[in-house]
Each structure stands twice: as C-alpha cells, then as structure tokens.
Structure 1
C-alpha cells in the first residue's frame, strides 16, 4: 500500500523536489548568498529527512482508516455495513463512509422490494397450485369410481405425475418458510415409507414395478412427517422413473454402529455415470439420464438435499452403471426440535 500511496502523492513529491532544486539553484547562483558546499549538502539532507518523516506520518494517518476498512471488508455479506468503522475525519474518510452508507441503504431498499415481489409471486403460485388441486381431486374421484375401466386405469399414472409436479411446486413455494413450518415428532420408518409408497402405487402398477421392504422397519426417527415424506417421495419418484418395466425397488432400513437409522432406496435402473455423480444435487442438473427422460427438471434431488439439510438428514448416493442407483438417508440418533431450529438459524 505504501508504494500505491507514493504514486498517489507523486504531485506532492514532485512539488517538494522542485522547491529543493530551486533552493539549491538560488544558493549556488546568487552572488549575494555566501554558503559552503557542505552546508548546502547538509541543508539538503535535513530537508529530505524532514520531508520523508512528514510523508511517512501522513501515510500512517491517511491510510489507517482504509486499512481497517479493507480488513473488515474481506468478506461482503448481509452485515457488511455494520462492520465499517466510524470515520475520525470529515474528509476524505467521512465522504467515503457517506458513499458506502448510501450504497448500503440502496441495497437494503432493493432487497426489501425484491423480497416483497418474490413473496407475492410465491403466494400467487401457491394459490394457483391450490386452485389446480381442486379439479385434480375431482378427476381422482372420477378415476377411482371407474377403476374397472381400462382407460381410467391408464390415466391413473398420468394423473399421479401431474399431481406430483404440482405438489413439488407447492413445496418449492413454501421452501422460504420451511424453518417456521417444521414440527418434528417420533415416527416409525414404516409409517413414512408406506405413506409415500401408497402415493406412487398406480405408477408402480403401470410399470409393473415391485417394491421390497426389508430390515428394521419399526426403527424410530425424530423428524418432520410432511417434509421428510416429501424427501422420500422425491427419491422414490426417481427410482420409479428410471426403473425398467418389471423391475424391483428395494428399501432397506438398518441402524449403524452409531445408532443412527439408515434407509436405503435401491433401483435397478441404468445407473449414473461417474462424471455426473458429483453434480446430481445441483439445481437444474439432469445429466445424461435426464436427457433421455425428457420430463426431468433437475429439481427433485436439489430439493431433497436442501430439505434434508434442514432436517439434519444426510443423503449419500452410490451408483453402478447399468446396475442401478442407491440413495441412503441417514437419520441422526439425537435430533431434537431445538437442534433443528439451531441448524436453520
């Protein structure tokens, strides 16, 4: 910073050097002034020494505020302005502080406007989804009333896909308020699994897919029934979507050495290529399989990961090409309501 300061003060330094040259010229050429050469050199030395000290003192004084400012602004986050030190001088520190304050207030205003706009959009979207649910419910009643009809049977899985997409959109709109919507409770794993399997039963029947439940299904986990159920639904939806007709989806529940509960969902689909595996939880990423399945949006696993983090559930994925994919949900041994709240703050 000192070199930058010297460059910034080059006009001052040039002016001081010019005064020194003029003084030396006057002393050497004016016949009315009698002074020895060594005295001129001594005077020049004192002049340069005092000028250097003055410049260094001014450097320390003028850059101290900016050094503090730079150290506080290494990371710019929501509270960046609160970390800015109060200026000691009106100029130029005070002017700099005033400019940063205006920038901060403008940023806060725009953020509030954007948040209000996003909230309104999410509210409108949620209202639209609820409106769409009404005719879908009527369609479901009609389909259930004509289960013996072949056409009604074929429509069941398509109705389910539309319903799942609307449900996912509804959860997306509620994602911003997830922290205030959590209500953890003690639940059996089989309760969570069977509820979601029942939801996908018509799609499984349409593809002739069998679902096998093994392990300790009576294991107890502490989680939110609605949001955890949504995560399981996303994982099962992917398993059914990529399973071949007549395939089998295996769901195994066990307790590991740390007494945490692990639920593993394994399909017999095409598997995931090694170069796609690290990115499957990225928002909008569909991978090679998603390009084959034109209905893939890349949102299911992204939402599953976001919600799982809030619920303190770990997700682990392993896959073998042409053999299938396994997704494990690891529920911690201790997961109290207070812990979940702390993790979301």
Structure 2
C-alpha cells in the first residue's frame, strides 16, 4: 500500500490538486526561526519535528519512510522524525529534504519544506541561535560537498554573481537565508540585504552579529525598498522573479534599477514548468529577460550559466544580446 501525500495544510491534495494553498490564507502563523524547541522538539501549527532517539521503530500504516525521515500525521499535524547526521546541517539540508520527501510527491508546498528545515535545525540545540550559527558556519566555510549555497544547486549561481559584482557596495533584494550576502560581507564588501519576511531578516541579522560580520538588514517588499536612489554599486536579484507574478516582477526590476549606482544582476532558473517545491509561481525565459532589459532603457546583457542572467549597466548604450558569460566590467 502506498503512503499518503500531504500538502501545505496537512491534507491529502490528490493527484490533480495543483499548487498548494497559500499558508497565510489557512491562518498559519509565520515561521519563527528563533523560537526554542523544548525537549528537542520543534512544533508549530503545521509540523512537529524531532531527531530520532534510539533505534528506528517499525514502520506503521500510513507512514512515509525514507532514508532519513519518518513522516506520520498526528492530531492534524505532520510529525517528522529525522535521522539527519550533524555533517548534513548546512545549506544543502533543504535539498536533502526536497529530494527525499517532496521530489517523490509525498509532501508538497514550499511553506511545508521551509518549516521542516527550520524544525530540523532548531531542534538540534537548546539555543536556536546556536543551532543556526553552526548551520551557517558549515555553509560559509564550505565544509560540505556543496560549498556556499549548496541548497538547490545555488553554488555556481552564487559564484557567477560574485564574478559580476562591480564596486564595493552590494544590495541584495529578496535575500532569503543570505548565504551569499554573508560570504561577501566576510570578504569586506559593504552589504545590505532585504526580504519581505520579518523572521528571515531577524535570523540573518542575529547570525551576522554572532559571526561578527557587518550587515545592514531591511524588511521590505523588493518592489518598494525604503532606500534612496543609487543606494549601492550593485543590486542583486537572484532567484526571486520566479517567485513573483509578472507585474510584481517588473516592479522589482524597476526598483532595482533605481537603487543601483552601477549595475543590476538578475538570475533565474530556466525551467519548463515552475517548481512548486521551491515556491516558484512561473517560468522566466531568456526571451523574458531580454524584454525586461529592453524596458529599462539601459545597456544590458542576457546569457545562460546554470540558469538565465540579465545584467544591466546604468549607462545608455546599444542593446546587447549574447550567449556568453557577462559583460566586461
């Protein structure tokens, strides 16, 4: 008998249910990444996550069992018991959860994945900030196979973005976990990060302080950032547009151009269909990036490198359309 599949609300979505429901519409409280996990158990309205203590029990009816996880439904919530070893606590953890539980279709929805990853991390230490500090240190030192940004194959994306930076100050819009921003801060660049999720920004600020890294943080919609024009030499918009509808994405690019003193760097995954595991709402093609670049009125370059790239330089010039790595700096 096959195991059940659960969507973001913990219900059986069925084989043709489409994307999972917006968690805010279900009345779920936002994720608090710094909430304690008493007794090594992370618990919220949707999931309960704990590490396995002792031998692995016999599989029960309706249980989802993978190499690292046992998932059951208890009292309206998903109970996730894991045996993820400490060496896997780094940015590649989300990919591990995604591959085992979401790729096969057992679980669905980016909100659910985020809560499970948060639960695995914070349940590993009585002090949630200490748990996150270990997670970030392992990621930033590259002490795992994926290097910085190992989550969802972002390591080559982050490396290419680093190669495209110009000037000393950087603003990242929609920074999420902020792995690249922290690594750039460690290299001596002046970093400002923004994200619309307050808990994410609070976590990033707290971790930066623990790591003694200078980092300015803002809670803001990437289309409406409370900073003056030309606030940073380079503005990064990395793997953000696919999470937004077309109109919202266009506003974000307009805002990025306003905020950039010298350059805007945009990266998107090139997908045939949006990957709902990571919260993607739409696909963005190289042709879409070219249209966005044309609309700015500035010189730009579009190319492919582990996804699609749009690089806008704030100097009016002839349209550039290329298939090679980015423009000369």
Q: Mark yes or no: TM-score above 0.5.
A: no
Structure with greater Cα Rg: 1
Q: Which structure features the higher share of helix residues?
A: 1
TM (norm. structure 2) is 0.24
| Higher RCO, Cα 8 Å, sep 6+ | 2
Q: Which structure features the higher share of strand residues?
A: 2
TM (norm. structure 1) is 0.23
